[in-house]
Amino acid sequence: MQYQFDNGSRVPVAVVHCLDWRFVQQTWKFITKELGVLFFTPYSFPGGPKVFLDLETRNVFLRVLETVSIGHHGIQQVILIGHRDCKAYGGSARFGSPEEERETHERDLRIARDVITRKFPGVMVDLFYMEIVSMAGGEGKVEPQQVK
Amino acid sequence: MQYPFKNFHHVPTAAIYCLDPRFRTQHEQFISNELGFKDFDQYVFPGGPKVLADEMKRDIFLDAIQNVSVSLHHIEKIILIAHRDCGAYGGSAAFSNPEAEKAAQAKDLQIARDILLKRFPEIIVSMFYAEIIGENVEFNPIE
């Protein structure tokens, strides 16, 4: 089977998100349909933006952002997306309350943004958190919410 | 806007491929439509499987696969996909001809497979090469 190939030279947006498949399809729909970003490079790794906090992964991801996304693709925007019940944080069960979990993720998203903008001052970084807004019987709804 | 959500944790497959935006949707269509895996852990990084051939980056990914895909999601299979004109290799221009390019990437795929099988001997590893054919992309298996 063959798939249509678009060898366009448009500048993509870099998106860093967790590989948790419960959230991936919604993340892509959000990026393409709500944000209108059709051409993007997904950095998909456990914990998503958390890679910029952990010393072991931070340098690796900053390096590829520099060489590939900025140096090769010429990106000007990075979108960081965290999510509720992220296993890279031990899941929701690790936190004392939903508020504590949310605050931890928001704090880490801002730290990740600071790490990126300190290294690449010309790059705009937007933050979002995928919130589970309803859940019953294993099914529910998620909503991407902007973090300032 | 809200999106439907299903709370499941068993994901049978992981895939490692490059983040090149020209191939993004084709990778997903291939894995979902041709290979039949609707849900899969996707490790997307410049160069895709090449990251496992890189001693400086390898352990980060092996540990993530161990901790998330194997221990938490109980995967049974890992799909490795390389592609033509990969920027992580310097693009097609870095090679003298298309055969040399494909051979270099196939070699790295085999290195990546061997490293995965050494660490996770119970996992099945499949390898593919995304080839540009005119205005289309075709995924061909690598032995």
Each residue's pLDDT, cut to its tens digit, for chain B (143 residues) gives 999 999 887 889 999 999 998 998 899 999 999 999 988 999 999 999 999 999 989 999 999 999 999 999 999 999 999 999 999 999 999 999 999 999 999 999 999 999 999 999 999 999 999 999 999 999 999 98
Comparing alpha-carbon positions, the chain A residue that sits nearest to B41 is A19
* Residues in chain A closer than 8 A to B40 (CB atoms): 21
> B-side interface with A, Cβ within 8 Å?
1-8, 11, 19-26, 29-30, 33-34, 39-46, 56-57, 60, 64, 67-68, 72, 87-88, 132-133, 135-139
Q: Could you give the domains of chain A? A: 13-147 (3.40.1050)
What residues make up the domain containing B69?
13-142
Please report whether residue B8 resides in a domain. no
B47: in domain? yes
| DSSP conformation letters of B70-126 | ITTT---EEEEEEETT-GGGT-GGGSSSHHHHHHHHHHHHHHHHHHHHHH-TTSEEE
**pLDDT tens for each residue of B23-51:** 988 999 999 999 999 889 999 999 999 99
Tokens of B105: 């990437």
Is B8 close to A42, i.e. CB distance below 8 A?
no
What is the reported pLDDT for A137?
A: 87
Return the number of CB contacts < 8 Å for A and B.
Answer: 125
Tokens of B81: 């996909």
Judge whether residue A9 has pLDDT over 70: no
pLDDT(A23) > 80: yes
For chain A, the average pLDDT equals 94
CA neighbours closer than 13 Å in the CB half-sphere of residue A79 = 26
Interface test with B, best of A16, A19, A79, A143 (most B CBs within 10 A): A19
In chain A, whose CA is at the least distance from the CA of B13? A21
Q: pLDDT (tens digit, 9 = 90+) per residue, A89-123?
A: 999 999 999 999 999 999 999 999 999 999 999 99
Per CB-CB distance under 8 Å, the chain A contacts of B91 are none
Residue located via tokens 């709370």: B7
Query: CA–CA distance from B69 to each of A21, A27, A45, B11, B12 (Å)?
Result: 11, 19, 11, 8, 9
ipTM over 0.95: no
Q: What is the CATH number of the domain that holds B133?
A: 3.30.1330
pLDDT of residue B9: 76
Task: Measure in Å the smallest separation between the Cα of A107 and chain B Cα atoms.
Answer: 23
CA A50-A36-A23 angle, to 5 degrees, is: 40
Q: Per the structure, how many domains does chain B have?
A: 1
The arithmetic mean of pLDDT across residues A13-20, rounded, is 96
The reply to whether B63 falls in a domain is yes
Q: What pLDDT score does A110 carry?
A: 98
pLDDT at A30 over 80: yes
Distance CA B5, CA B106 (A): 37
Query: Between chains, do A68 and B2 touch, taking CB under 8 Å as contact?
Result: no
Identify whether the C-beta of residue A45 lies closer than 8 Å to the C-beta of residue A77: no
Q: Is residue B87 part of a domain?
A: yes
- Report the distance separating Cα B57 and Cα A71, nearest Å: 19
